[in-house]
């Protein structure tokens, strides 16, 4: 019999603690109670000490950002699946990724709570969303460079950034999803056209 059977390793314990804390925070955000919640309350609901919570996330803001980053992993997976499965026009693929993001975000309880909730929450999607932007931007930049060998790294990054920021603006201020996706496609198509013209010139 394996001597570790029935025992949790320190790494597994740490992962389980982090998951419980993220789950507890998620519940409070979705329920609209986040602005009133103290770190001690969240720690208690997860069955850990307040010091453990601070050791893991540093601050209430850090905990909120970690909750959003975890949820964003689902969006990242969806975007990557769409881009990697596309063999057609790259601009159209980016637009389809934007359309999927808008559809998924419209039904997401966490995003809904952040967008419509207390002003304390919104910056995690705007001014403090750099970790998410960096990860999504890196994936999209890599896709564009793979599909368009002639495009430079800086040019691909610029196209990806515009597409991401435009998509995020539609997440924060929803409109017709098909219209939004077409506008993202138009913007990306125009930028890629300018890149191609510059390369020929």
Work out the number of other CB atoms within 10 angstroms of the CB of residue 100. Answer: 17
Q: Which residues contact 89 (CB under 8 A, 6 or more apart)?
A: 189
Cβ–Cβ under 8 Å, residues 188 and 159: yes
Note whether 105 and 146 are same-domain residues: yes
- Residue-range definition of the domain harbouring residue 136: 68-200
pLDDT at 121 over 50: yes
CATH number for the domain harbouring residue 85: 1.10.357.10
Q: Encode pLDDT of 35-52 as tens digits.
A: 999 999 999 999 999 999
Note whether 79 and 22 are same-domain residues: no
Note whether 15 and 78 are same-domain residues: no
- Distances from the Cα of 153 to the Cα of 70, 89, 95, 157, angstroms: 28, 19, 20, 6
**Tokens standing for residue 9:** 């390793």
Mean pLDDT of 123-152: 84
pLDDT at 76 over 70: yes
Percent share of the chain, pLDDT over 90:
43
**Tokens standing for residue 102:** 């808008």
Does the residue 145 lie in any domain? yes
Task: Give the pLDDT confidence score for residue 135 in this predicted structure.
Answer: 81
Note whether 33 and 123 are same-domain residues: no
Give CA–CA dist 9/17, Å, rounded: 12
Does the residue 63 lie in any domain? no
Note whether 192 and 99 are same-domain residues: yes
Task: Give the pLDDT confidence score for residue 14 in this predicted structure.
Answer: 55
Task: Give the pLDDT confidence score for residue 51 in this predicted structure.
Answer: 95
Note whether 94 and 31 are same-domain residues: no
Cβ–Cβ under 8 Å, residues 43 and 21: yes
Note whether 53 and 78 are same-domain residues: no
CA-CA-CA-CA torsion for 89, 191, 163, 146, nearest 10 degrees?
Answer: 50
Mean pLDDT of 20-39: 94
Integer Rg of the chain from CA: 20
CATH number for the domain harbouring residue 52: 1.10.10
Does the residue 184 lie in any domain? yes
What mean pLDDT, rounded, does the chain reach?
85
Mean pLDDT of 60-68: 91
Note whether 78 and 177 are same-domain residues: yes
Give CA–CA dist 53/44, Å, rounded: 10
Rounded to 5°, angle at Cα 104 from 16 and 107: 85
Does the residue 32 lie in any domain? yes
pLDDT at 21 over 50: yes
Note whether 79 and 144 are same-domain residues: yes
The band of 163, judged by pLDDT with boundaries at 50, 70 and 90, is very high
Give CA–CA dist 165/163, Å, rounded: 6
pLDDT at 1 over 60: no
Does the residue 3 lie in any domain? yes
Cβ–Cβ under 8 Å, residues 133 and 164: yes
Mean pLDDT of 62-77: 86
Note whether 129 and 154 are same-domain residues: yes
Note whether 72 and 48 are same-domain residues: no
Note whether 130 and 172 are same-domain residues: yes
The band of 4, judged by pLDDT with boundaries at 50, 70 and 90, is very low
Which residue, of 37, 58, 79, is where some domain finishes? 58
Give CA–CA dist 26/68, Å, rounded: 9
pLDDT at 12 over 70: no
What is the tally of structural domains in the chain? 2
pLDDT at 2 over 60: no
């Amino acid at each position: 019999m394996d001597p570790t059977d029935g025992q949790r390793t320190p790494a597994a314990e740490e992962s389980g603690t982090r998951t419980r804390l993220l789950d507890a925070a998620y519940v409070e955000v979705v329920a609209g109670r986040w602005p009133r919640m103290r770190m001690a309350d969240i720690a208690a609901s997860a069955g850990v000490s307040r010091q453990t919570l601070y050791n893991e996330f540093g601050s209430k803001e850090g905990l909120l950002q970690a909750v959003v980053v975890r949820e964003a992993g689902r969006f990242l997976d969806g975007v990557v699946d769409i881009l990697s499965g596309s063999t057609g026009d790259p601009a159209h693929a980016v637009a389809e990724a934007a359309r999927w993001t808008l559809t998924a975000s419209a039904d997401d309880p966490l995003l809904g709570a952040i967008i419509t909730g207390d002003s304390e929450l919104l910056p995690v999607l705007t001014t403090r969303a750099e970790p998410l932007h960096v990860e999504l931007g890196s994936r999209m930049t890599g896709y564009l460079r793979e599909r368009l060998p002639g495009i430079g790294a800086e040019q691909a990054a610029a196209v990806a950034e515009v597409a991401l920021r435009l998509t995020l603006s539609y997440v924060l201020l929803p409109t017709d999803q098909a219209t939004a996706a077409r506008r993202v496609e138009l913007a990306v198509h125009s930028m890629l056209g300018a890149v191609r013209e510059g390369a020929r010139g």
